[in-house]
Amino acid sequence: MKLEIPNTFPDGMNDEEIQSVISKCAKKVTYVTKPDVNVSLGASYYISMIQLGQSELNNRIQSGLLDLIKNENQENKKSTFINRVLTGLTIALALITLYIGNKSLGFAESDQNSDEIWQTEQIELLKKQNQELEQLNKKLTERVKTDSIN
């Protein structure tokens, strides 16, 4: 009972085909190593085929892992770049907010100062008008007194 190993073994086969050949070789090794079995190929041939198949599967797994790691690194670089840009924008917005807030406080203070000046001017104007009214009132009172005497 000879097991035919395909010429495309292992790199020309898919994972399932390689695993099938490995499984058949393992069965053959078990059969060949039994006592009183006469075979033309020794167990070492099939063991070599098992190792070759396992080696190919391991290489494929490692290659897949390396590709996955490479893709993850690229994604991490993109995320890092995006995070840095967003951090920069956040800092810029914070600085702009501080500047606008500072200017707003300046305008509020200026408005408050001008309001106080206006109120002071209005109070002075009212005092002046009050004094003028008092003087007019005195003159009118004197006139009334003089008119009533005459």
What pTM does this model have?
A: 0.41
Q: Which pLDDT value is given to residue 18?
A: 85
> Alpha helix locations (H) across the chain?
15-32, 43-149
For residue 26, is it within any domain?
A: yes
pLDDT in tens, 95-142: 999 999 998 888 888 878 888 888 888 999 999 999 999 999 988 888
For residue 28, is it within any domain?
A: yes
For residue 120, is it within any domain?
A: yes
Tokens 């300046």 — which residue? 106
Cα–Cα–Cα angle for 34, 40, 44, nearest 5°? 65
For residue 130, is it within any domain?
A: yes
Please give the mean pLDDT across all residues of the chain.
83
When mean pLDDT is compared over 41-55, 75-89, 101-115, the highest value belongs to: 75-89
What's the domain count of the chain?
1
For residue 103, is it within any domain?
A: yes
DSSP 38-74: --SS-HHHHHHHHHHHHHHHHHHHHHHHHHHHHHHHH
pLDDT in tens, 5-34: 888 888 888 888 888 888 888 777 766 555
Domain range for 100: 15-149
